[in-house]
Amino acid sequence: MLVFEVKVVPSSGRQAWELESSGKLKIFLKSAPEHNKANLELIKLLAKQLKVTQQQIEILAGGISKYKRICIDKELSWLELLKILGLAQQQTVF
């Protein structure tokens, strides 16, 4: 199980992710933050990319905030997540 924080940018017109200089994952979504649409898009996008079911992804906190705490019910490390998203090379070591 992996729990991490993410910053979501709804209504961005694209689906993409990047690693901020702070080390936090930032995800851009097409959907507006109305009627839970952005949250549903976030879950679908992560499920597809990580090859898990949507039921294996849960928003633990931040349902109506751009800062969210996500839980993925799969044996996965933070580095493995970044590698799957193509961001492992951007990982900063402190």
Chain segment 2-16, per-residue pLDDT in tens = 999 999 999 999 999
pTM, two decimals, is: 0.86
Chain segment 49-88, per-residue pLDDT in tens = 999 999 999 999 998 999 999 999 999 999 999 999 988 7
- CA–CA separation, 12 vs 28, rounded Å? 6
Chain segment 24-39, per-residue pLDDT in tens = 899 999 999 999 999 9
Residue 35 CA, distance from chain mean position:
19
> Domains, the chain, ranges and CATH?
2-90 (3.30.1200.10)
